[in-house]
Amino acid sequence: MTSTTHARTTHSARTGTVTGAPRAGAQRTHVIVASPVGPLTIVADGDAIAALYMDAQRHAPGPEALGLPGDAADEPFATAARQLDAYFAGRLTEFDLPLALAGTDFQRKVWAGLRDIPYGQTVSYGELAARIGSPAASRAVGLANGRNPVAIVVPCHRVIGSDGSMTGYGGGLDRKRFLLALEQGSGA
């Protein structure tokens, strides 16, 4: 199942809403942009971002799921690249991109919960499970977190172990540390 939402990663509550499914017959396209954490593959489904993958990312799909090469000057790629540049420069704490998140109802509930974690802060898997109304589902939350298709924009890097330790991250723990340090103003 796919739904389109707007990602909000701010200190306030997530204000994005479900606005409907991507256009029927929309074709996936992708571009690769440079970033401080390595190349990022942005995948669009019509006019919405469907995925953002890091190189060598766990759970990344095969090349056929990325679609045809797109043009980085076209939307939604151009806006996504500008916002990512601003994020990495420390000038953006809120992404405002149309998203087409494909996943189970539970996964999308977890991903919505991720968007409610304030910039520069972290929560444990157990805390996130409680926040989404499933306090006994911390392991399931961890699995859904690991399947997040839109890294950075849907901030799965903000989830840590209950003891404060850095736990798994699809893009690798070094990248998770980098993103958290960037958001906490420690530089990277």
**Dihedral angle, C-alpha 91, 72, 48, 127, nearest 10 °:** -40
Whose tokens are 């409907």? That residue is: 20
- Catalytic residue at 36? no
Contact by Cβ (8 Å): 83, 8:
no
Contact by Cβ (8 Å): 49, 76:
yes
Task: Characterize the bridge pairing of strands 40-45 and 28-33.
Answer: antiparallel
Contact by Cβ (8 Å): 153, 96:
no
- Which of 48, 81, 156, 182 is the catalytic position? 156
Q: How far apart are CA 13 and CA 137, in angstroms?
A: 22
The DSSP symbol for 38 reads S
Catalytic residues: 156
